[in-house]
Amino acid sequence: MTGRDRRERVGLTLTVLGATSPYPGPGTSGPGYLLEGFGARILLDCGSGVLSRLAYHSDYADLDAVIISHLHFDHCSDMLVLRYALDAAARAGRLIEPVPVWCPTEPADVAGLMSYKEALRAVPITPNEPTDIAGLTATFIPVRHPIPTYGVILRPSKAPAVGSLLFYTADTEWMDELPGLVGDCEILVAEASLTAKQGVLGPKVGHMTAGEAARLGGMTNARTIVLTHYPPGRREEDILHEAKRVLARPVLVATEGLRVEWP
Ligand SMILES: [Zn+2]
Ligand SMILES: [Zn+2]
């Protein structure tokens, strides 16, 4: 299937562009996910190395929108070079208007970097209000992390407003209220920064364990659970082992190029 087919499909394709954090390891990239379907092509987070992965799947100028969950650099550092790629595309007449970037407004000095000439235009996130983004409906859920951070629920615009097609936790500690806010979920992309041993740190650093991420998958009846945002060098089997202790269902560990399709 070509990128054009994936974008026009009545369905959603998630392609993992990067998953390691807070910095990449050998040959890996920071958090970044390409979402294609229902006529939209959206880049969700843009960490270090994400652009070089994105180039395998899409022309940068073909992005309809970018969503940045929060302005920690592991989620937005490659925006500083995407600006050059899109500026070049704009000057060559291949970009009709700046690509909108939904992002928080704080910290203000970093938010100010998300707009650039005719290439990128920052759009402030309004929490808890369904927002049309390139034909998909996004609802931004404030989550618990040291700076303003938003989980993202995506739904096809024409579907009834129950459940979630995709929920991305962004970076957050465990929140009892999340399963209720998300409802039943087709694809869950959940951060799994911590090991079970590190779990007590969760509320202090604003991150979840792999077990908590899997638990969220169970509580939202997620059909596909993708665990992501883990430090470079952590072994996939160790993440899966921790998830299995909580949830007796298969889960996936995000790695560059992993693709999930719905339906
Ligand atoms: Zn963060
Ligand atoms: Zn992060």
User: In DSSP terms, which residues pair with 152 in a beta bridge?
Assistant: 140, 168
Q: How far is CA 126 from the centre of its chain?
A: 17
Pairing of strands 164-168, 150-156: antiparallel
Please state, in angstroms and rounded to a whole number, the distance separating the CA atoms of residues 19 and 15: 11
pLDDT tens string 127-143 = 999 999 998 999 999 99
**Which one of the ligands is nearest to 30 CA?**
2
pTM score > 0.95 for this model? yes
Peptide bond into 263 cis (omega under 30): yes
User: Is a pLDDT exceeding 90 seen at residue 75?
Assistant: yes
The region that residue 134 occupies, defined by phi over 0 for left and psi between -120 and 50 for alpha, beta otherwise, is left
Residue 1's pLDDT band, with cuts at 50, 70 and 90, is confident
Residue 162's pLDDT band, with cuts at 50, 70 and 90, is low
CA of 263 to the centre of ligand 1 (A): 30
Residue 161's pLDDT band, with cuts at 50, 70 and 90, is low
Residue 167's pLDDT band, with cuts at 50, 70 and 90, is very high
Residue 157's pLDDT is 87
What SS3 class is residue 4?
A: helix
Residue 3's pLDDT is 86
First to last CA, the chain: 15
- In whole angstroms, how large is the CA radius of gyration of the chain? 17
- Give me the phi and psi of 141, to 5 degrees please: -105, 120
Residue 226's pLDDT band, with cuts at 50, 70 and 90, is very high
For residues 115 and 83, is the Cβ–Cβ distance under 8 A?
A: no
**Which one of the ligands is nearest to 47 CA?**
2
Alpha helices in the chain (DSSP H): 3-8, 50-54, 73-76, 79-91, 108-111, 178-182, 202-205, 210-219, 236-244
CA nearest 34: which of 137, 127, 168? Answer: 168
Burial of 31 (0-12, 13-18, 19+ CB in 10 A): buried
Residue 170's pLDDT is 98
Q: Domain 3-255: which CATH class?
A: alpha beta
Please state, in angstroms and rounded to a whole number, the distance separating the CA atoms of residues 19 and 256: 7
CA of 219 to the centre of ligand 1 (A): 24
CA of 90 to the centre of ligand 1 (A): 31
pLDDT tens string 22-74 = 999 999 999 999 999 999 999 999 999 999 999 999 999 999 999 999 999 99
Taking the CB of residue 19, how many other CB atoms lie within 10 A of it?
Answer: 27
CA of 239 to the centre of ligand 2 (A): 17
What SS3 class is residue 89?
A: helix
CA of 64 to the centre of ligand 1 (A): 24
Residue 160's pLDDT band, with cuts at 50, 70 and 90, is low
**Which one of the ligands is nearest to 145 CA?**
1
Residue 159's pLDDT band, with cuts at 50, 70 and 90, is low
User: Is a pLDDT exceeding 60 seen at residue 186?
Assistant: yes
Domain residue spans of the chain: 3-255
CA of 181 to the centre of ligand 1 (A): 21
Residue 221's pLDDT band, with cuts at 50, 70 and 90, is very high
User: Is a pLDDT exceeding 90 seen at residue 192?
Assistant: yes
